[in-house]
Each structure stands twice: as structure tokens, then as C-alpha cells.
Amino acid sequence: MRYGTTIMDDIGNEHPRRNLRLAERGALEERLESEPKEKAAQIKGELKSLPRKEHDYEKKFAKVRAEEKAFLAKASERKTTFEGSLADSDPTIRKWKLEAMESRARAEFYAPHADLSYDFELLAEQHRMIAEQLPAIADTRRETLDALDAAKADLEAAKKEDHSQANADFRRLRKERLKQRGEEKAALRKLYKSGQISSKAYVNEKHQKDLAAAEDIRSMKQSLKINMLADRVRYLKHRLKQDKKQGIAVLNSDISDLRRKTPIEVTKRCPWISYLTFPLPGLGQLLLGQTFKSIFFFIGSLYIYLIAIPYALGRGNYRGQGLFGLVSLAEGASRLDRSVIFMIEGVIAIILLLIAFLIYYNSFRDVNRNEKKMISGIRLNNWFETKTAAKHKGFPYFASSPSALVTLFIVLLPIAVTVLISFTNYDPTHQSKFNWIGLANYKQIILGQGIAGGPFWLITGWTLIWTLFATSLAIFVGFVLALLVNQDRVYGKRFFRTIYLLPWAVPAFITIMFFSIMFSPNGPLTALLQQLTGQVINIKESPWGTRIVLILLQGWLGSSYVFLLCTGILQSIPKDLYEAANIDGATGFQQTRHITIPILLFQTAPLMIGQYTFNFNNFSIIYLFNGGGPFEPSKYGNLAGSSDLLISYIYKLTIQKQFQGIGAAITMIVSLVLIFFTWIGFSRSKSFREEKL
């Protein structure tokens, strides 16, 4: 980068360079670019011959710096002379006044040198501001302090007085007010009893009267002399704190405006600090003078070098070997060192390293950007500015980081582990130690081979049939019920709605388990079926019997929710649609066909799709009704039953039968399909397309 003759401040204004040496260099460099090539050699010669330390400007600058040093060294001397002239006893006011006096002295010192460097100009202006504003803040504080002292004295004096008269007055007034409230309420009751106001209005009005009386009594209490005085003391204390905070904040933001308008000149041309310090986040910020900020990045460094990297290398693990555990999978380790532990710890190591990388990247970018800013002439943020910016810009990160961490470790970590397990031979014979086997599990499933993969397609078929029929039945029943109940002429709507809500309101596991009992060999429904048909029908022993009962049961369970949804939508259809249809001579059937059903379908469609995915994963009903049975070893082998869905099959494989590898592979397939379908649903939904992401 070349120097140029001007520099840019944060607002975008150009300023001429005040460092004359750099300005000369900049001018020459500009000429080098703009003028014809023949002159290049000559200009380069001039550039080389430019003096550095011997430059007049540099000499002058160094002299001022020396004066400055001497001036600053005398600060404590000045302080003692100032202190003598201070009369106030409040430490904060003393501190401010001292600071203001010192600032006045500094402003006077720097002002004559402002033309020499923007730094001096900034210091002069900044100290002038402090010298102007701090005394004013101090004076306000003095006034408030005096008022506070007076209020405290008043309060003490009032405490010694006799308050029995005032208290008695208050009690009397309160009694009167309560009596008045009683009368008002009695009047209300009369109105209610005579039927002039409704019960709801009665309750509301009563509540209003209570509130009004409480409010009045509170204000009476507040107007007691002693309470008023105590309030004033409290208020003044609050003012004291607020004024201090606000005064300093205003001063700080004025200084910050100044910093934005005053450029900075540096001799450096390349952001080398960021490149050199990136291995240690925090160091770069420290070198650039942002001390407080650097502390936060140093904490990041501590995390990287004390937690993330040692963990990834295997230190401080529970049993595993950090990242290497993912490769070795505990091979050759002791019996207690199970492969799955090594795998999980490997994934944890990856997550920790990812966070570490994020810290590296952010720190590097921060330093790099700030260095480039300085080179172009912009002053860096001081701590006040950083804090203000972080409060707004940093808030969303700060607010969502706990959720992000929990999601990372509780949701994403298990998903990642499942993905990895699906590529291993984690099965009953390899419970403690397993190996990577690539896509073999997927191959087994797709080809329907082996004990675990064999029934996959059969189960998939039944899962699809189940999802389609069970959900459609529930939707159909719920739909029809909603249409029937919400007819104009049907009475007892409330009764029907409450009853139809029950299957949804009773926890599903209870109803499912109870139906399971009723269909057991000596259960009531089995007996009933026997009476009706004259034959012994054991539902739970017959595959299709179980399947049909399951579908009916889900229709029973799921219709409630559909019914509720449809009822809600039916009630919100504007009545004038029907009136218009009536006037046009449409029959009731036509109205239902052309108004009600299209609106219902359109509005419930996304929710109904949700019902299909819900049933696809409806583990409870299958597992709790018949445990996925009955078993049909000839078709399904020993692991699955004939009513098992993919999800209950996964559960059995993973939790009960220890075929975790194949279970994970099936999980992956199922999840990918589900994600695909829900994604399509999402991307088509209105809210997604219109979302101002």
C-alpha cells in the first residue's frame, strides 16, 4: 500500500496529512503512478533520497514529544496544587474537579501543537471537552447532594414528631373508602340480581372497584408526611446514581464523536501484526492498544490451549483418545474401553476444535481489519466504543450462545454419532469393539440381506400402508365430524365438541395400553368379538387383525385433533360467504362443496402433512399396543414383528437386540427421506417464501 497525501476518517472525510515526511513520500508515490515511465527512475531516486529521521518534521515532532514527556511528568505536582484549592468533601466531586483542572492544563498544552499531528489535535479537543463538561456534572451532583442532605434531615426531624393524629386520620379515611367500596359493590349486586348487567360484567366491575379502592388507599398512604419524605430521599439517591451514569455517558459519546472525526497517521503499511499474532488470540488486540478487548480474546486462547487442543490430542478424555479415537475405535485397548465411547469423544473433540477455529478466525479478522483501518487513517474504538458496539451487535450472539451450545452437544452430537455408527459393524458380536465397514450396512438393508436387514422392505411396505391409511382415516373422520357438528341446525355443539376432544386430551399411552388390554386373549373386546361372530378371534395373534385394529385405533386417536382444527377454521369462515351463496340460490350441499371444503382443505393442508409424518414415526401406538407383534419368524426373522414400523424396528435393533450399526443405517435412510419431505413442505409454505430471512 502506498502512503498517499491524504487520509480518511471514519465518517469518510478526507484530511491532508500532517506528518509532512509521509506527505512528501505520498506525493512522490502518487507521481510515480501517474507520470510517464521515463521519469520513474528519477522519482524512485528522489524517494530513496528522502530523509527519514533527519526530516525537519520528525525533528520538530520529537521535540514536542520530549516537551510532552516533561509536561506529563509534572502531573502529580499540579495535582497537589489543585487539591489545595478544592473545598468539596464528596470524593466523586473532588475526583471530577481534579480531572477537569488537569484536563484544562493539558488542553492548553496540546492546543498550540495541533497542527503538527492529529493526535495532538485530538488530545487538545478531548481535554477541552472534559474540562468543560465535568465541572457541570460535578455541580449538578453537588446540588443533588445538598437536596439529599436536606431531605434526610427533614425525614429525621419528621420521625421525631408525633404521628398519631396523621395515622388516625389515615385509618379513618381508609375505613371510609372501604365502606364506600362495599356500598358500590352492593349496588352492583343489585344491578346484577335485577338482571341489568351480565354475570361477566358483574365480575369485571367488582374487580374494577377493588382496584380503584386499592389505588386510592395507596395514594392516601403515600401522602402521609413521613412516607412522602422517605420517597423523596429514595428518589434523590436514584437521581444521584442516574445523573452520574448519564453525565459520563454523554461525555464519553462526545469524545467518541471526536475520535470518529479525527484521523490517525501511522507509518506502517502492512497489517503484519494480525499475521504474526494469529496463533494467540488476544495478543494482537493488546499490541494495538485495545487492552480490555484483548482480555476476552485471551480467555479464548486459554480455552484453545487448555481445553480444545489437549482434549483433541487425548488429554482429559473420559476413556477415549480424542481425535485419534475416531480412527482406532479403541482397538487393542482394555475391555472397558468400548469403541462407542471413543467415537463419541472423537466427535466431541471435533466440536471443540470447531469452536476453537471460530475463535482463531474471529480474532484474526478483528486484528486484521483494525490494522487496515489504522493504515487508512481511522482511529480504533476505545473501550467505551467497543462496549457500546458489543452491546448491540454482540447481543444476538450472546443471547443465542447457550442454546447453540446445548443444540450442538445434545442434538447434533448424537446425530453425528449415529451417522458414524451406521458405517460400523456395531452388532451383538461386536458390542465392545467394532470397526469401520464402510457402506456394508446400507448394502445389507437395500438388498434385504442378513438377519437385521432382511425384513427391511417388508417393514417399509407396512410403514407406508400404515401411514397412508391411519392418517387418512383420522383426517376423514375428523373432517366429517367437524362438518356435521358445525351445521347450523345441530344443537349441543358444546357437548359434542367436548366429547370429541377426549381422545386427544387423554394421554395416548394410556388409551393405547388400555386398548391393548381389551384386545388381549381374555380381554373384554376379544370376548365381545367372540359373542358377535361366534368364533374365537385373537386379534393380537393375527398379523392383519393387529394391523387393522391399529389403523382403526389411530383413526380414533387422531380424529380429535383434526376435528378441533377444522372446527376452528369453520368458525372463522365469514358468514357473508354463505349469505351470498344463499341469495344466489345455492343449496346447502353446494355451499359445503364449493365454500366449506375448499377453505378447509386449503387451510389445513400443511397441518395434515404434519399428521402423515407424525404417524410415520408413531412409535408409541405400535410398541405399546402389541410390541410390534405378532411375530412371524418365517417372514420377518426373529428381530421384528409383523406390525413393526421402521421406527419401532430401529428401537428394537438399537435398544433391545444390539444391532446398533444396522439400526443407525436405517435411521439415516428414514431421516433423510423425512427431511426431504418436510423440506419440500417448508419451502412451499407461504411463511418461508415471504420470510425476510
Partner 1 sequence: MSKNKEKGLYLSDRPPLTPVKAVLLTISYILLFFYVFIIVWPLAQIVFSSFNGNQGEYIHVGGAYQFSLKHFKYLFQETYFLNWVINTIVIAVATALLTLLFVSFTGYAYSRYRFKGRKASLMAIMLIQTIPAFVGIAAYYTMHSIISAVIPGFTRQMFLILIYAGGGIAGNTFILKGYIDSISSELDDAARIDGCGNLQVYRLIIMPIVRPMLAIIALWSFIGPFLDYLMPSILLSDPKQYTLATGLYTLITDVRNMHQPVFAAGGLLTAIPIIILFIALQKQLVSGLASGAVKG
Per CB under 8 A, contacts with partner 1 among 88-127 are none
Give whole-number Cα distances, 86 to 133, 147, 247, 331, 483, in Å: 17, 21, 21, 78, 87
Binning the chain into helix, strand and coil, the percentages to the nearest 5 are: 75, 0, 20
**Nearby residues of 425 by Cβ (< 8 Å), 6 or more positions away:** 434, 435, 437, 440, 441, 661
Closest contact distance (angstroms) between CB of 245 and partner 1 is: 10
Contact stretch for partner 1 (CB under 8 A) within 36-44, 106-114, 121-129, 480-488? 480-488
The DSSP call for residue 304 is I
The DSSP call for residue 431 is S
- Cell readout for 9 is 476518517
Which residue in the set 252, 386, 538, 685 belongs to the binding site for partner 1 (CB under 8 A)?
685
Residues β-bridged to residue 631 = 641
Residues 261-320 that bind partner 1 (CB under 8 A): 318
Residues 575-604 that bind partner 1 (CB under 8 A): 582, 588
- Asked if residues 290 and 387 have their Cβ atoms less than 8 Å apart, the reply is no
Report the residue number, 233 or 607, with the smaller CB distance to partner 1: 607
- Cell readout for 132 is 468543560
Residue 629's nearest CA partner among 510, 473, 472, 520 is 520
How far is residue 646's CA from residue 540's CA, in Å, rounded to a whole number? 19
Ramachandran region of residue 507, left (φ > 0), alpha (ψ -120 to 50) or beta? Answer: beta
Closest contact distance (angstroms) between CB of 527 and partner 1 is: 7
Closest contact distance (angstroms) between CB of 249 and partner 1 is: 10
Q: Please report whether residue 429 would count as binding partner 1 according to CB under 8 A.
A: no
Contact stretch for partner 1 (CB under 8 A) within 119-127, 175-183, 276-284, 487-495? 487-495
- Omega within 30 of 0 (cis) for the link into 135: no
- Asked if residues 346 and 322 have their Cβ atoms less than 8 Å apart, the reply is yes
Q: Please report whether residue 647 would count as binding partner 1 according to CB under 8 A.
A: yes
Which residue in the set 148, 191, 353, 564 belongs to the binding site for partner 1 (CB under 8 A)?
564
Closest contact distance (angstroms) between CB of 302 and partner 1 is: 19
Which residue in the set 272, 383, 395, 436 belongs to the binding site for partner 1 (CB under 8 A)?
395
Which residue in the set 429, 489, 532, 583 belongs to the binding site for partner 1 (CB under 8 A)?
489
Q: 398: number of CA atoms within 13 Å, CB side?
A: 6
Residues 453-472 that bind partner 1 (CB under 8 A): none
Q: Please report whether residue 407 would count as binding partner 1 according to CB under 8 A.
A: yes
Contact stretch for partner 1 (CB under 8 A) within 157-165, 251-259, 373-381, 401-409? 401-409
- Cell readout for 342 is 471413543
Which residue in the set 98, 287, 513, 669 belongs to the binding site for partner 1 (CB under 8 A)?
513
Q: Residue 388 is inside which H or E element, if any? A: helix 383-393
For residues 323, 327, 332, 335, the Cα torsion angle rounded to the nearest 10 degrees is 60
Contact stretch for partner 1 (CB under 8 A) within 195-203, 467-475, 557-565, 592-600? 557-565
How far is residue 625's CA from residue 619's CA, in Å, rounded to a whole number? 10
Report the residue number, 279 or 414, with the smaller CB distance to partner 1: 414
Closest contact distance (angstroms) between CB of 247 and partner 1 is: 14
Q: Please report whether residue 484 would count as binding partner 1 according to CB under 8 A.
A: yes
Q: Please report whether residue 258 would count as binding partner 1 according to CB under 8 A.
A: no
Report the residue number, 272 or 679, with the smaller CB distance to partner 1: 679
Residue 656's nearest CA partner among 643, 641, 671, 672 is 641
How far is residue 220's CA from residue 218's CA, in Å, rounded to a whole number? 5
Report the residue number, 130 or 664, with the smaller CB distance to partner 1: 664
Closest contact distance (angstroms) between CB of 35 and partner 1 is: 43
Report the residue number, 174 or 430, with the smaller CB distance to partner 1: 430
Which residue in the set 523, 543, 558, 630 belongs to the binding site for partner 1 (CB under 8 A)?
523
Q: Please report whether residue 485 would count as binding partner 1 according to CB under 8 A.
A: yes
Contact stretch for partner 1 (CB under 8 A) within 7-15, 56-64, 278-286, 486-494? 486-494
- Asked if residues 501 and 564 have their Cβ atoms less than 8 Å apart, the reply is yes
CB atoms within 10 A of CB 98: 17
Contact stretch for partner 1 (CB under 8 A) within 39-47, 203-211, 216-224, 612-620? 612-620
Range list of H helices, 506-595: 508-518, 524-533, 543-572, 575-583, 588-591
The amino acid occupying position 172 is: R
Q: Please report whether residue 675 would count as binding partner 1 according to CB under 8 A.
A: yes
Q: Please report whether residue 417 would count as binding partner 1 according to CB under 8 A.
A: yes
Which residue in the set 203, 510, 548, 580 belongs to the binding site for partner 1 (CB under 8 A)?
510
Report the residue number, 120 or 423, with the smaller CB distance to partner 1: 423
Report the residue number, 93 or 650, with the smaller CB distance to partner 1: 650
Total number of residues that touch partner 1 (CB under 8 A): 98
First to last CA, the chain: 38
- Asked if residues 349 and 311 have their Cβ atoms less than 8 Å apart, the reply is yes
Q: Please report whether residue 392 would count as binding partner 1 according to CB under 8 A.
A: yes
Which residue in the set 393, 593, 594, 635 belongs to the binding site for partner 1 (CB under 8 A)?
393
How far is residue 171's CA from residue 169's CA, in Å, rounded to a whole number? 5
Helix (H, G, I), strand (E, B) or coil at 14: strand
**Nearby residues of 16 by Cβ (< 8 Å), 6 or more positions away:** 5, 6, 23
Closest contact distance (angstroms) between CB of 604 and partner 1 is: 9
Which residue in the set 32, 224, 413, 446 belongs to the binding site for partner 1 (CB under 8 A)?
413
Q: Please report whether residue 565 would count as binding partner 1 according to CB under 8 A.
A: yes
Closest contact distance (angstroms) between CB of 66 and partner 1 is: 45
Residue 601's nearest CA partner among 565, 560, 552, 558 is 565
How far is residue 166's CA from residue 177's CA, in Å, rounded to a whole number? 16
Report the residue number, 42 or 587, with the smaller CB distance to partner 1: 587
Contact stretch for partner 1 (CB under 8 A) within 93-101, 145-153, 374-382, 651-659? 651-659
- Cell readout for 60 is 520538530
Which residue in the set 89, 164, 522, 533 belongs to the binding site for partner 1 (CB under 8 A)?
522
Which residue in the set 22, 122, 151, 341 belongs to the binding site for partner 1 (CB under 8 A)?
341
Q: Please report whether residue 664 would count as binding partner 1 according to CB under 8 A.
A: yes
Phi then psi for 377, rounded to 5 degrees?
120, 0
Closest contact distance (angstroms) between CB of 194 and partner 1 is: 28
The amino acid occupying position 208 is: Q
Q: Please report whether residue 517 would count as binding partner 1 according to CB under 8 A.
A: yes
Q: Please report whether residue 496 would count as binding partner 1 according to CB under 8 A.
A: yes
